[in-house]
Amino acid sequence: MKGYKQYFNGLSIKNKIFSTNILIIILSISIIALFANIVSQKAIIEKAVKNSSRELVLIDNNLQTLITTVEDYSKILATDYRLQNELYNDFLENNNLSTSSHYVGGLDNLSMKKTLSEVISNIVEPNTNIKAVSVLTSNHQWVDVGFADNVVASRIFGSGSEAIDHSFQPVLTGLMKFKFRYEGDDNVFAVTKTVIHKDTGKTVGLVVLYVKETVIASIYERKMNYKGGNFYILDQYGKIISSQNKANLYRDFKEATSISIPTSTEVETGFFQGNGSEKVLVSTHRLEPLEWSIVSVIPIDEITVERKEINKLTIWVGALCLLLAFIVSYLLSRSITRPIFQLSRTMRDIRTGHLTVRSSYQSSDEIGYLNDVFNNLMDRIEELVAENVEEQKTKAEIEFKLLQTQVQPHFLYNTLETIISLIKLNMKTEAITAAKYMASFYKISLSKGNDIITLREEMHLSESYLEIQQLRYVEYMEYTMDIDEEIMSCSISKLTLQPIVENAIYHGLKRKTEKGLLRITGRRMGEEVRIEIYDNGVGIEESQIKGLLREASESSERAGFGVRSVHNRIRMLYGDRYGIELESEVGLYTRVTIRLPFKPLREV
Q: Which residues of 62-91 are buried (b: 16+ CB within 10 A; e: fewer)?
A: bbeebbeebbebbeebbebeebbebbbebb
Cross-strand partners of 452: 493
Provide the whole-model pTM.
0.52
CA distances from 463 to 460, 466, 473, 547, 562 (A): 5, 5, 15, 28, 18
Q: What is the mean pLDDT of residues 524-533?
A: 92
Question: Which residue, 232, 262, 260, is CA-closest to 247?
Answer: 232
H-run or E-run covering 418: helix 366-424
- What is the per-residue pLDDT across 308-337, written as a single tens digit (0 to 9) for each? 777 777 788 878 887 887 788 777 777 777
| pLDDT > 60? residue 559 | no
- What is the per-residue pLDDT across 476-489, written as a single tens digit (0 to 9) for each? 788 999 999 999 99
Cα 549–chain centre separation: 57
Mapped onto helix, strand or coil, the DSSP state of residue 502 is helix
Residue 539 CA to residue 545 CA, distance in Å, equals 10
Mapped onto helix, strand or coil, the DSSP state of residue 496 is coil
Do the beta carbons of residue 257 and residue 284 sit within 8 Å?
Answer: no
CA distances from 35 to 30, 39, 165, 305, 322 (A): 8, 6, 63, 18, 18
Residue 336 CA to residue 13 CA, distance in Å, equals 9
Do the beta carbons of residue 587 and residue 543 sit within 8 Å?
Answer: no
Q: What percent of the chain has pLDDT over 70?
A: 83
Q: What is the mean pLDDT of residues 265-287?
A: 81
H-run or E-run covering 581: strand 579-585
- What is the per-residue pLDDT across 130-183, written as a single tens digit (0 to 9) for each? 888 888 887 778 876 667 888 888 888 887 666 666 567 888 888 999 988 888
Q: For 152-279, list the strands marked E by DSSP.
A: 171-172, 176-180, 184-196, 203-212, 230-234, 240-243, 268-273
Distant-in-sequence, close-in-space partners of 2: CB < 8 Å, separation ≥ 6: none
Sign of the CA dihedral running 256, 260, 263, 267: negative
Residue 493 CA to residue 495 CA, distance in Å, equals 6
- What is the per-residue pLDDT across 53-69, written as a single tens digit (0 to 9) for each? 888 888 888 888 889 99
| Lowest pLDDT segment from 64-68, 270-274, 395-399 | 395-399
Q: What is the mean pLDDT of residues 343-369?
A: 75
Q: H helices of 425-495, where?
A: 428-446, 455-472
Residue 177 CA to residue 171 CA, distance in Å, equals 17
The side-by-side arrangement of strands in the sheet containing 268-273 is 240-243, 230-234, 292-299, 280-287, 268-273
* 591 vs 558, higher pLDDT: 591
Do the beta carbons of residue 81 and residue 313 sit within 8 Å?
Answer: no
Question: Which residue, 34, 37, 46, is CA-closest to 309?
Answer: 37
Highest mean pLDDT among 258-267, 502-511, 587-596 belongs to 587-596
Q: What is the mean pLDDT of residues 572-591?
A: 88
pLDDT computed for residue 532 by the predictor: 94
Q: H helices of 229-268, where?
A: 253-257
Q: Which DSSP string do the residues of 133-182 spell out, in sequence order?
A: EEEEETTS-EE--SSB-HHHHHHHH-SSGGGS-TT-S-EE---EEEEETT
Residue 480 CA to residue 516 CA, distance in Å, equals 11
Second-level CATH architecture of 410-603: 2-Layer Sandwich (3.30)
* 217 vs 7, higher pLDDT: 217
- pLDDT, the chain, mean: 79
Q: Is the peptide bond preceding residue 409 cis, with omega within 30 degrees of 0?
A: no
Q: What percent of the chain has pLDDT over 90?
A: 11
Distant-in-sequence, close-in-space partners of 585: CB < 8 Å, separation ≥ 6: 539
pLDDT computed for residue 594 by the predictor: 93
Do the beta carbons of residue 471 and residue 433 sit within 8 Å?
Answer: yes
- What is the per-residue pLDDT across 208-247, written as a single tens digit (0 to 9) for each? 999 999 998 888 877 666 666 788 999 888 899 999 888 8
Residue 501 CA to residue 401 CA, distance in Å, equals 18
Q: Which CATH superfamily is domain 224-303 in?
A: PAS domain (3.30.450.20)
Pairing status of strand 184-196 against strand 516-525: unpaired
CA distances from 206 to 92, 122, 157 (A): 16, 18, 10
| CATH annotation of 80-217 | 3.30.450.20
Residue 328 CA to residue 148 CA, distance in Å, equals 79
